[in-house]
Amino acid sequence: MVDELLFFMEVLVGGLLAGTMYSLVALGFVLIFKASATFNFSQGAMVFFSVLAFCGFMQDFNIPFVLAFILAALLMVVVGLCTERFVLRPLMNASEDTVLMATIGLGYVLEGLAQAAWGVEVRRLDLGIGDFPVPWIADNLKLFISALDITAGLVAAIMIIGLFLLFKYTKIGLGLRAVADDAGAASSIGIPLKHIMLLVWSAAGVVALVAGCMWGARAGVQFALVDLALKALPVLIIGGFSSIPGAIIGGLIIGAVEKVLEVYIGPFFGGAIEGWAPYVLAIFFLLYRPEGLFGEKIIRRV
């Protein structure tokens, strides 16, 4: 009995921590959705592009770890800059659907560029953190939890606190929230949409890099990261597209649910249900709570 409970705890905690990896990816989507009300389909490509560049800097040019990370982050700011200038600005007055289509195109461009620049083979990314159980926890709590999962959890927590402080207490954060509420009114009082878009896309780029590092260390830096990032879709449906806490909680829920279901219900379906179980959960949310757990309900005075 105790063993079973321990096993369940292990599955649950492992799932929750793996979920923070989804949360990290989802964060990037939320940032852009808040500012431009668009689901950024290129977020997965941004994850792939950024982490591949990071690996490229380290492995092809022998640039040290920290410097390579900073370079990759700067590269993502440049990507944000180009996106604002060449994609978003010309589409300023276009409908949200048009912008959505443009992000799909942008995704292909980024995927192509990344592979053209750094090659197509799978790269190994060593963060110096092993993807194996931490001995101390295994000995004392009898739980086998990966060090990488714990790191991902900590990194996610730090990023959320950072973004929260940025939005709540800085001038540009106030500008971003104003644009998220009513872009037209924001521009009528002199908030330059250009700067806000640049900020948001750069921030999303850096978040993509961090998420890419975590995923790359686990699964190898490879093209499959692009599709993996789309797991953020059910996370966002559950958490709400415009909520940063929602992205986090949504990620945790998806992580925990898919692992628990895989272990306890999976065998009845012949296994490997974690690939689609999150989407089933997402469909239930779409039916019964379409704004997600934390999504901002559209407030209307009656």
Partner 1 sequence: MSNTSSNILDIKNIEVTYDDVILALHDVSLKVPKGKVVALLGANGAGKSTTLKAVSTMLASERGKVTKGSINYDGNAIDKQNPSQMVGLGMVQVLEGRRCFGHLTVEENIISGAYSRKLSKGDINQELEKIYTYFIRLKERRKSQAAFTSGGEQQMIAVARAMMAKPKMLLLDEPTMGLAPQLVAEIFNIVKELNTKEGVSILLAEQNTNVALKNSDYGYIIETGRVMLDGTAQSLLNNDQVKELYLGISKKGRKNFRDVLKEESLTKKKIN
Q: How far is the CB of 302 from partner 1 (least distance, A)?
A: 11
Q: How far is the CB of 79 from partner 1 (least distance, A)?
A: 24
Give the residue carrying structure tokens 């927590």. 157
**123 SS3 class:** strand
**Alpha helices, DSSP H, located in 170-276:** 171-181, 183-188, 193-219, 225-228, 232-239, 244-264
Closer residue to partner 1, CB minimum distance, 46 or 180: 180
Closer residue to partner 1, CB minimum distance, 92 or 230: 92
Residue 203: partners with Cβ closer than 8 Å, 6 or more residues away: 31, 80, 163, 166
Q: How far is the CB of 99 from partner 1 (least distance, A)?
A: 14
> In this structure, how many other beta carbons lie within 10 angstroms of the beta carbon of residue 15?
23
Closer residue to partner 1, CB minimum distance, 169 or 288: 169
Closer residue to partner 1, CB minimum distance, 193 or 237: 193
Closer residue to partner 1, CB minimum distance, 124 or 168: 168
Contact 45, 231 (CB under 8 A): no
Binding site for partner 1 (CB under 8 A): 92-93, 171, 174-175, 177-178, 180-182, 184-192, 296, 299-301
Q: How far is the CB of 183 from partner 1 (least distance, A)?
A: 9
**19 SS3 class:** helix
Backbone angles phi, psi at 83, to 5 degrees: -60, -45
Closer residue to partner 1, CB minimum distance, 93 or 140: 93
> Beta partners for 123?
221
Q: How far is the CB of 191 from partner 1 (least distance, A)?
A: 5
Give the alpha-carbon dihedral of 214, 216, 217, 219, to 10 degrees.
120
Q: How far is the CB of 216 from partner 1 (least distance, A)?
A: 35
> Rounded to whole angstroms, what are the CA distances from 247 to 59, 143, 176, 231?
32, 26, 18, 12
Closer residue to partner 1, CB minimum distance, 74 or 174: 174
Contact 23, 231 (CB under 8 A): no
Q: How far is the CB of 300 from partner 1 (least distance, A)?
A: 8
